[in-house]
Amino acid sequence: MTRYQDQTRAKNSNPGKSVRPSSSILIADDQSDVREALRLLLMRQGYVLMQASSPTEIKQQISTAAPTIVLLDMNYQRDTTSGQEGLELIEWIKQKHPDIAIIVMTAWGSIDLATQAMRAGASDFIEKPWDNNRLLSIIKMQCEFQQATRQSQKFQTIAELQRQHSDCEIVAESESMRKVIDMLQQVASADASILLRGENGTGKNLLVEQIHAWSARARGPLVCVNMGSIPENLFESEMFGHVRGAFTDAHEGRIGRFELADGGTLFLDEIGNLPLPQQAKLLRVLESGDYEKVGASKTQHSDVRIISASNAALETMVADHQFRKDLYYRLQIVEITIPALRDRRADIVPLARHFLDQHRRRYRKQIDGLSRAAEATLQAYDWPGNVRELAHVMERAVLLCSNSLLQPDDLALTRHDDPAAAAPATTQHAELTLDQLERRHIQAALQHCQGNIAATAKRLGISRAALYRRMEKHLLDG
């Protein structure tokens, strides 16, 4: 029995409850008895352990597995005591994997070397032969710090993603919308996947927020992602994350959407616009919850509730082999169709009043309400852009209104059955700017293609990414 193994058996103690198995440690030392002694000590604490005996092996292990902590010896060549190899390894680790904690091990008790190591980026140091209690305490503290740092980064990213969430309330006075709300309340508490169907602008995002709030995951994160807006070559990075250096320009690691949503809800909007190759990658993680970050081989697991939405005819896409049947069935365990605004006319005026109140407070306008003529105009319009269009109309009306009551002229609506709407472009559009013409043209194309982004982009002769940029510019719902 070596002195290190004997030290482990004689001085081992239990510092408290074991750490989570996901905390991994790379034991990096050229002496086999040191590595074995540390393995015997740490395996009892529940850590995932790896070993390396040379700088080359250390780099290989870190690049492959990205451990939480590296227990790093400072010297690897026989009869060397300078610690230069260790300092170079610290510099390499901090450059390639800055999130990894480094605990330096030195047999020489050199305060100067320990100081250099800390300046280079090490988190702490121990002397050989080590005290088990002190070593376990340092490791536990570093694991807790790493976990807290990851949680902080996760929450910051989630907060940034949720800044754009709608702050409006659900207005459901019509019978058709009340039925939708009743159904959502019934299924919200379960973890079953939900597929929301409906035209652009019907309020699917808002309903997702409400489902999440009603669910058992309400205290967890709600992460929303527009599947159609993700470039194909960045799909895995966006959804699963990547490690630093995984590809060109990956200067920092990235947390993927599945990791961000762990313990909460992941909303996959415009799921019908996801290309077939990405559908297969998505299906795998939906079936098992397992995935790997780009550039890493370590498998991670995410526990999320999936809600997806689409205005495309997914059944037709399945029949045409444009959408995977197995993915479709996994997404639509519960399928709910959101009625168009023209089919829930009892909600039009209440929604208009809600948006009026919201925007007059935002812009500090003294407007008492809607005139009866304005209400009649709102009711007569067919709302091709649904609730989203109504919200934009009311915001514009509030800005333009100079009276105590909103009037029909403030709404600036043109009914589709109005003869003026069929007038030649030379007279109808003479007073419109190019931006206004572009917005109307895109709206018409979206309506003609029933909201299918790929078909709309093809019809307009532009890429999907370019279409999304123009839709964002004109505040059009995707």
| Widest Cα–Cα separation across the chain | 98
Range of the domain at 273: 175-339
Pair (324, 350) in one structural domain: no
**What is residue 334's predicted lDDT score, i.e. its pLDDT?**
94
CATH code (residue 233)? 3.40.50.300
Pair (374, 404) in one structural domain: yes
Pair (278, 352) in one structural domain: no
Question: What pairs with residue 25 in β-bridges?
Answer: 49, 69
Q: Could you report the per-residue pLDDT of 422-445, keeping only the tens digit for each?
A: 334 444 444 566 777 788 888 888
Among left, alpha and beta (phi > 0; psi -120 to 50; other), residue 20 is beta
Pair (179, 279) in one structural domain: yes
Q: Could you report the per-residue pLDDT of 186-195, keeping only the tens digit for each?
A: 999 888 999 9
Mean pLDDT score, 358-380: 91
SS3 345: helix
Q: Strand (E) positions, 10-84?
A: 24-28, 48-52, 69-73
Structure tokens, 169: 């309330």
> Is a pLDDT exceeding 80 seen at residue 345?
yes
Element housing 290 (H / E): strand 290-292
Mean pLDDT, all residues of the chain: 83
Structure tokens, 290: 């397992």
Pair (315, 375) in one structural domain: no
Distances 454 to 145, 281, 462, 478 between C-alpha atoms, Å: 45, 20, 10, 11
Element housing 441 (H / E): helix 434-448
447-460 residues labelled b (16+ CB within 10 A) or e (exposed): eebebbbbbbbeeb
Residue type, 437: L
Q: Could you report the per-residue pLDDT of 239-259, keeping only the tens digit for each?
A: 999 887 778 777 777 889 999
Q: Tell whether 119 is covered by a domain.
A: yes
Q: Tell whether 292 is covered by a domain.
A: yes
Q: Tell whether 244 is covered by a domain.
A: yes
Pair (217, 325) in one structural domain: yes
Name the phi and psi angles at 182, rounded to 5. -60, -40
Total domain count, the chain: 4
Name the phi and psi angles at 233, rounded to 5. -75, -10
Q: Are 202 and 344 in contact (CB under 8 A)?
A: no
CATH code (residue 395)? 1.10.8.60
Q: Tell whether 225 is covered by a domain.
A: yes
Structure tokens, 456: 């709309």
Pair (334, 367) in one structural domain: no
Q: Tell whether 203 is covered by a domain.
A: yes
Structure tokens, 273: 């616009």
Q: Tell whether 24 is covered by a domain.
A: yes
In angstroms, the CA 439 to CA 339 distance is 24
In angstroms, the CA 99 to CA 69 distance is 9
- What confidence tier does 16 reach under pLDDT thresholds 50, 70, 90? very low
Pair (141, 218) in one structural domain: no
Q: Could you report the per-residue pLDDT of 269-298, keeping only the tens digit for each?
A: 999 989 899 999 999 999 999 999 988 878
pTM: 0.61
- Residue 315 Cα to chain centre, angstroms: 27
Pair (254, 304) in one structural domain: yes
Q: Tell whether 100 is covered by a domain.
A: yes
Pair (26, 87) in one structural domain: yes
Residue type, 373: A
In angstroms, the CA 31 to CA 375 distance is 83
Residue type, 149: T
Whether cis (ω within 30° of 0) applies to the bond prior to 129 is yes
In angstroms, the CA 243 to CA 250 distance is 8
> Is a pLDDT exceeding 70 seen at residue 151?
no
Element housing 238 (H / E): helix 235-240
Residue 379 DSSP label: H
Vertex 190, ends 184 and 196: CA angle to 5°?
40
CATH code (residue 102)? 3.40.50.2300
Q: Are 217 and 265 in contact (CB under 8 A)?
A: yes
Q: Are 245 and 299 in contact (CB under 8 A)?
A: no
- What confidence tier does 419 reach under pLDDT thresholds 50, 70, 90? very low
Point out the domain boundary residue: 413, 443, 458.
413
| Terminal alpha carbon distance of the chain | 68
Point out the domain boundary residue: 339, 364, 387.
339
SS3 32: helix
CATH code (residue 460)? 1.10.10
Q: Could you report the per-residue pLDDT of 21-53, keeping only the tens digit for each?
A: 458 899 999 999 999 999 999 988 888 899 999
Q: Tell whether 170 is covered by a domain.
A: no
Among left, alpha and beta (phi > 0; psi -120 to 50; other), residue 361 is alpha
Pair (136, 208) in one structural domain: no
Exposed, middle or buried, 372 (CB in 10 Å: 0-12/13-18/19+)? exposed
Point out the domain boundary residue: 413, 435, 466.
413
Pair (87, 140) in one structural domain: yes
Place of tokens 């895995």: 236
Place of tokens 């400072």: 74
